[in-house]
Structures are given as C-alpha cells and as structure tokens.
Structure 1
C-alpha cells in the first residue's frame, strides 16, 4: 500500500485537513497525519474558513482532528507523496527545521507534492518554488513571487499542476485538487 505524508497543525483549515485525508484513505492510501511536537493520538484544533463576501475569509472554530502518526517517527523514504494543508498552521510550521527538510526531500526526489491555500507558505520557506508555476490563496501570491515562483491567479475552485506539484487556492477546489494529485501519484480509478 502506498503511503502519503500529510502535514497539518493547530488551526489548520478544517476542510483542508479532514476532506483530503478522508478522500485519500477512501481510495486506498495509507495517510500519516503529523504535526511537530505531537504524537499519534494527539489532536490539532482546526478552524473553518469561509467566503462570506468580506474582504477576506471569515474564521470560526472547527473540529478537533486526531493525528494518526507521530512526527518524530517519520522516515521520509517511506512515503510516495506529500500533502500540506492550509489555514493558519503553515505560518508557524514553516519555522520548524524538520518540516523544511521534509519538504525539500520530496522536491529533491521528484515525488508528488500537493499543497493548498496557505500550505504554500511551507513551500516558499523551503525555497522549492523557484522557476515553478503554482497557485495559492491570493494573499500568499506575493510570497510565491518573492520566492521566485510564477504565481497563477485562478478561481478558488481551480487547481494548477506543474510536474510533480499540485496546488489550489482553497478548499472549494477539493474535487479537482485531489483528482489531479491522484493522477500525479499514478492512481487509476475506474468508474
């Protein structure tokens, strides 16, 4: 069974953690959800971000999400793909040296990476977007440009694929985001 490493953390966006995790497990992947300084069984608090006509998203308390793997036990060579959730978690996760090392490993080995919304902040901090085309939540666009990437401004339900990298602006893109990640992972689903 192929394994996917899933980076998340406190105040991650609720849908951007729960929905991709469930979708990837549904199709048969073993998905290890991890957060620095936490172990299997610990929880991360999530936040629900919604688009209600304001100048930016609104934020409400989400669910408690139980991690199913311990961060300290991660061996990157065991995983065929990496998923990075958005929300507020990436702004502090990108300060963790091991998170940056993990992210660089997947890019250095050309393994599939999917990042959504603010999850792209981890990619820019890891210095892996130079020369790449990708999208993110619009407020993260300047970071992509400063890091040498080509920011793609697309609708919130869109997805952008550049080689092994799959990115989307926000959770409304989940169907296309996961579909394209599955293609990059080499999955074949027949209906």
Structure 2
C-alpha cells in the first residue's frame, strides 16, 4: 500500500492528545502527515491544552505542550492530499472563521476523501455546511451544532468511534484506538502482526 498524504488542520489550544497522537501514529505507519495552522509557518508552534474527564459536568483544561507545525498553511494545496484530520480542543471554534479553512474542508467532503474528526473538531464541519444527512458523533456539547447543520448526532461512549461513508468521528481522545483504527481502514492501511 502506498503512503497517503494526510493534512491536519489545527490552531492554538488544540487538544494536546488529539493532535499529537494522530500525527505520530499516522507517521508511524508510514503516511506523510502535514500539520498546519492558519497564519503560521512550518517550524512555528501552536499551544495545546489537555482536556481531562475528572468527574465534573464537563472536561477540565490544563496547559499542554507546544506542537510544532511541519508545513505552512498558506502553501497548502488540498488537492495534493488524500485525507484530512481535524482534532478538537478550542482551536476549531476560531479557525472555522477562516474562509480558507472552510474551502479546504469542503474540498475533502465534496471529493469523498477520508476525513477523521474528533471532539470539537466537528465545529469546523458544521461551519463548512458538509454534514447534511450525515451521522456523526462529537463531544456531547456539540450536538446542537450538528443538528442545526442538518446532521444526525449519534451519542457514543468516549471510547467509541462512528463511521459514515468517508467520515469517521469520535467523542474525545479516549476514543483514539477505535477512531484511528477506523480511519486506517478508510485509508486502506493494513497492519499485520
């Protein structure tokens, strides 16, 4: 299987695990992965936040690591990528305001390329208006946005993932094993033991 070219759209205060784990795991299995942020260059970093589930009514937030970008957002040609990853955290709520981010997401959706979205990353897809008739999951507080965008919100456990055609979604980082496994299937990646 030839390596795929995968694009990660991120920004400051992305959820730490939700950007670092897929970036590292997808590279580990041999794919080419570019992580970009609007208005930032390759070699610059985004700040991350660790969201944890500690028994409160919602997640807690703590400072994470700095995550170094390896590509420049302004140079991205979405047609040269095979798949898209959209992590969660607080980044989606503001990078979705960038018209170029919306254009990139629509390219992947209209061309039926694999898209992996986790947690609040769904906010970018709702802003891009690409969820009509689609079944997705996301962090529970995003259900109204999914519904208002014409999608069907499916409540899943935090360790589960949901696949609808070219789209694989998960609630939060505890779902990485299921989410990444399903994404690898969409990519046609096989791992033999």
Q: TM-score, normalised by structure 1?
A: 0.99
Do the aligned residues in 1 keep the contact of 2:4 with 2:187 (CA within 8 Å)? no
CA deviation profile, 1:42-70 (whole Å, cap 9, x unmatched): 00000000000001000000000000000
Counterparts of 1:137 and 1:165, CA distance in 2: 16
Q: Which runs of 5+ in 2 are unaligned?
A: none
SS at match of 2:74: helix
Counterparts of 2:154 and 2:44, CA distance in 1: 36
Do the aligned residues in 1 keep the contact of 2:8 with 2:84 (CA within 8 Å)? yes
CA deviation profile, 1:128-166 (whole Å, cap 9, x unmatched): 000000000000011000100000001011100000000
Counterparts of 1:56 and 1:158, CA distance in 2: 18
SS at match of 1:175: helix
Task: Give the number of aligned pairs.
Answer: 191
1:111, distance to aligned residue in structure 2 (A): 0.3
Partner in structure 2 of residue 4 of structure 1: 6
Partner in structure 2 of residue 18 of structure 1: 20
1:27, distance to aligned residue in structure 2 (A): 0.3
Flag as ranges the 4+ runs of structure 1 deviating above 4 A.
none
Partner in structure 2 of residue 43 of structure 1: 45
Partner in structure 1 of residue 188 of structure 2: 186
CA deviation profile, 1:90-131 (whole Å, cap 9, x unmatched): 000110000000000001100000000000000000000000
Partner in structure 1 of residue 86 of structure 2: 84
CA deviation profile, 1:147-189 (whole Å, cap 9, x unmatched): 0000000101110000000000000000110000010111111
Counterparts of 2:14 and 2:172, CA distance in 1: 12
Q: Which runs of 5+ in 1 are unaligned?
A: none
Write the mapping of 1:31-180 to structure 2, written as runs, cut at 5 A: 31-180=33-182
Give me the CA root mean square deviation.
Answer: 0.5
